[in-house]
Structure formats: C-alpha cells, structure tokens
A and B are shown apart, each in its own frame.
Chain A
Amino acid sequence: MQLQQMYQEIILDHYKNPHGRGLRDPYDAESHQVNPTCGDEVTLRVKLDGETVQDVSYDGQGCSISQASTSVLTDLVIGRSVGEAFKKFDAFVELMQSRGQLEPDEDVLEDGIAFAGVSKYPARVKCALLGWMAFKDAVARSEGAKA
C-alpha cells in the first residue's frame, strides 16, 4: 500500500522519538524556516568547531515528514566535517527531487533512505527539506559571521 511506502517505520520512529530535538547553547547561527503553504516551521541552530559540525539543535512544529527528516539530519551531520555534511545534504536533496526514480545510497544517507517514498509526492518534498534548508542557511550564516 502506498501509504506504508511513504510512512516507513523509520520515519514514524523519528517522528515519535526525535533525535537531537530542543534548542541548545552555545551556537554560531540560527535559521528559521517556514513552509508558507501549511505553516510548518523549524528553528535550527548550528555550532561549528573549526571545520566540524559540533552540534545541530532544533525546535519546530510540523508534520511527521518535516520533523522526522530534521531528526535524521542531526544523526547524519553532527560530528562530520562541513564538507561531508554538505555531501549528505546534496544526496538528500537529489533523492527528494527524484520523484521516486533514484535508488538511495544507504552508506551516505543511512536512515535518510526511508524518505525515498516521500519523493513521489511533490507536495511533501518541501516538508522533507524544511530542516535541511534551515541547516544550509545556518551554516552559511555562521561561516559568514566568522569571515
């Protein structure tokens, strides 16, 4: 059934038991993103330690897809270099824009591969990318602040 394809157990698990949730100090930059069609929002903070993503913390209100994908994001990027984090970012964005036509690489995206089914629903892709766009924006801001 289509619904189970979209709402994989992994997604529902992250939704019910989110990882890394809650805004934390210290942080270098914060980004607030909204989805204007539904009002979903996320506030996300990034703390860099040199080239390493030391912490990502967030708070938000939204559907299971937006909340779970942000939870997965924190698993994937915390402790990685900024370069590695953006490789995962690119892979996740590519997967979400694939309309179900891409076989995701589990080595790169880990739990993120569960969102492959979501990419078949164009209206929900924005939900899945909400936290990721906040991450990209926050990193750009923190690097900008340091430059």
Chain B
Amino acid sequence: MTTTATPLDVVALREDFPILARTVREGKKLVYLDSGATSQRPTQVLDAERRFLETSNAAVHRGAHQLAEEATDAYESARARIAEFVGASLDELVFTKNATEGINLVAYAMGNAATSGPEAQRFLLGPGDEILITEMEHHANLVPWQQLCLRTGATLRWIDVTAEGRLDLSNLDELVTPRTKVVAFTHQSNVLGTINPVAELVAAARKVGALTVLDACQSVPHSKVDFRALGVDFAAFSGHKMLAPSGIGVLYGRRELLEALPPFLTGGSMIEMVHMDRSTFAPPPQRFEAGVPMTSQAIGLGAAVDYLTAVGMDRVAAHEHLLTEAALAGLGEIPGVRIIGPRSTVDRGGAVSFGVEGVHAHDAGQVLDSLGIAVRVGHHCAWPLHRKLGVQASIRASFYLYNDLDEVAALLDGVREAQRFFGVGPVPGQG
C-alpha cells in the first residue's frame, strides 16, 4: 500500500459515471456503496462497446471478411491489455462469463481428467484426495468444489475463520498434506474485506504439489494484482466488478496447466479436428472458449482496464484505503454497531460489513435506501461465513474509486437514522 500516491480528483472522475448523478427514492442523491456486488461503468467503457458495435461487429475467430478481421483484432487486443494488467501472458487468459464460470471451468475440467489423455492425469481426483478451501469463501468458490467432491469421491476440507475475520492458519500443516490436490481461496473477502496471505498459502500448497485457485474478484478491481508474482496456478475475476460490462470475466491459468487441462464446454471454435466419432481440441485459450464469445463485453473490459490503468491502481487502492479507514472509525463510534471483519485497515480492502443491534439488516438497508444509499444486505453469498460468525444477515458498504468521504458520512448518518426509526438508538442525554 502506497499512501504517497496523488489523491484522486473524485469530483472530476464522477463526471465519467453518468448514473452517479441521478436521484433515487423521491429526489434523494444516489450514494452508491454496492460496488462489491457490481460497479458502475464510465462513459469510456460504454463508448468503446458502442464504437465496436457500430463499426466492427462480427463473430470473432471465424470468417475472413474485413469486419471479422477487425472484430478478432479488437477482441485479442483486449485480451492482451487485460493480460498485461494482471501480469499474465496472452495465452494464459481465458474469457468466461464471469468469475463463477471461471471457477466452475477449472472444477469441471478437472472432473473430466478421468476420461482424458495422459497429460490430464495430473488433475485426476478420487477418494482419498482432498480439496482445501476456506470458511470465508463466496459460494462461487465453495459450491463448485463441493460438487467436484461429490463427482470424484474427494473430500472437502476448509481453513477456519477467526472471530476477527482472518484465516486461522495455526494448523495449516495439518490441513495441507500430500492428500491435498487443490487449495482454493479468496484473495480478498467480499464480506470481511480481509486480504489473505497468498504467499503463505501458495508456499504450503506447492510443498505438497497441490494446485492453487485464487478467487480474485474483489482484489483485481481494487489494487495492483500480478498473478505471476503471486505464484497462483489459476485465478478468476469478473469484469462487472471493475467498471466493465456484465457477462465477461477472466480465468487465468499458468500456461503449462492450461495446455494439459481438458476442456469444460465443448463445441464450435474450441476444436482442432472433428470427425463423426471423435475430436481433438485447440490449444488454450481457444480450447476453453466454445461458441461465439462475448465480444463487445470483452472490448468493454479492455476499455475498463485502460481506464483503471490511466487512473493508476495505486491511487485507487490508496483512495479506498482512506474511505475504509473513515467508515471503520465512524461505524466503530456508533453504539450498537458490530463490524464484521478486521477493525484495522491492515491487509484489508474496502468492503465493510456490519450489523446494527436490534435492527435486522434488511430493515436497516430499507432505511438507507429511503435516504438514497445503496448497500448490500443479506449474507452476500457467504452463508457459512455468516453462520460461523453468528450473524444471520449483515449490511455491507463497499467502496470504489468514485466514492468520497461525504458518502461515508451519509452512510454513518443513515445508520443512526435506522437506529432512531426502529427505536434502538442510544437514549438522548444518556449515551
């Protein structure tokens, strides 16, 4: 974390996001604190998509006409820029629908190892093998592994979460054993904001030859992430959480692994040769991109990466750090508010989840909504984590580069208003 980066000019930057200027619920200024669910898109991204569709739209990687050529060039150019943004090379970057699909791709492709060639046998799982995840995973990095265990007979194990919302690595030696074949974990928790020690987990996995799969959905949009430097084997993220359209995501895989990995979805454009009774497959990344892919969306993600690069990821991270610090401090001062996750900003990103004593998260969210403040309420697709921390549902505010300190202040006022409305606030004069 560099705190010496030039501060963002949020006022100027917000001009790029027309939606942020609208009002909601009877003229309230929109305070959008739900970027952890999906981010807003700047005009630069929308324009890039529109420009592509108005000038060069065609099905990529098929056809020899000029539009097909331009479309393919635009699509592959986006791939190159996105790859550079995350420290990967061109052929290590597979376009998917979103991170969920990316993780499922790995899980299903591994499940196909049993019926694939000798090069795929390194992915074979069976009874006695183990997949290690963590208790803080989003359902997208949990359910696919449960299902893979069901299909293969492998056993699912997990790293516990401490009361503070960090991984309990005290028994990592017992959890990562020669039986461990996959270690899948989130880079940054979508609920707690916790940034996990990737290096330590990768080192433990490597020692036993296990593959690592990183859910980078909440890290890539918010800080400089270099997959090669992190040393993970696979990683997935979604475009819509980083200023890009929905329907586009990325799976990163180390080259030698993608080369050996069997396909997941099969069909057009992922083949090498097709006969009536058998087929062979294209090299990666095409092997994992069956059918005509999302094209304007990929171009939109390329434009989003250009936008974020121009702003500077160190400045984005420093800005969110500032907002998170203010939110943690402010919420910490409100009696009856329980922050779920680390109270300090050390190894912590800009998702701040909390509960308000005596007010259900849904009801608090409704009060905030009536004030124009958009937050997420519920379990945020991390039900086991909520259960573990003894919380049924929580309120999550998540920040991005276009948020400012006034919006943090609005959130704090909104929380006090929810307490007042439901009659659970501190009694005036006594608290």
Q: Which positions in A face B, CB cutoff 8 Å?
A: 1-3, 6-7, 12, 37-40, 61-65, 121, 124, 127
Contacts and interface: CB of A to CB of B under 8 A. Distances in A.
A124 B366 contact: yes
Nearest to B378: A38
30 contacts: A2-B26, A2-B370, A3-B366, A3-B370, A3-B421, A6-B366, A7-B366, A7-B421, A12-B422, A37-B378, A38-B361, A38-B362, A38-B377, A38-B378, A38-B379, A38-B393, A39-B378, A39-B379, A39-B383, A39-B386, A40-B392, A62-B360, A62-B362, A62-B392, A63-B361, A63-B362, A63-B363, A65-B363, A124-B362, A124-B366
Contacts of B363: 7, 63-65
A122 to B, nearest CB: 13
A63 B370 contact: no
B85 to A, nearest CB: 32
A25 to B, nearest CB: 26
Chief secondary structure at chain A's binding surface: mixed
Contacts of A64: 360, 362-363, 422
A64 B361 CA distance: 10
Contacts of B360: 62-64
A65 B379 CA distance: 18
B367 A3 contact: yes
Interface in B379-397: 379, 383, 386, 392-393
A1 B392 contact: no
Contacts of B62: none
Interface of B: 25-26, 360-363, 366-367, 370, 377-379, 383, 386, 392-393, 421-422
A37 B26 CA distance: 26
Q: Which 3 A-B pairs have the closest CB atoms?
A: A63-B362, A38-B378, A63-B360
Contacts of B361: 38, 63
Contacts of B366: 3, 6-7, 121, 124
A85 to B, nearest CB: 27
A124 B422 CA distance: 17
A62 B392 CA distance: 8
Contacts of A62: 360, 362, 392
Given A38-B362, A38-B378, 11 more contacts: A3-B366, A3-B421, A7-B421, A38-B393, A39-B383, A39-B392, A40-B362, A40-B392, A63-B361, A63-B362, A65-B363
B1 to A, nearest CB: 33
A2 B370 CA distance: 7
A93 B422 CA distance: 26
> Which of A1, A2, A7, A38 neighbours the largest number of chain B CB atoms within 10 Å of its CB?
A38
Nearest to A62: B360
B23 to A, nearest CB: 13
Contacts of B392: 39-40, 61-62
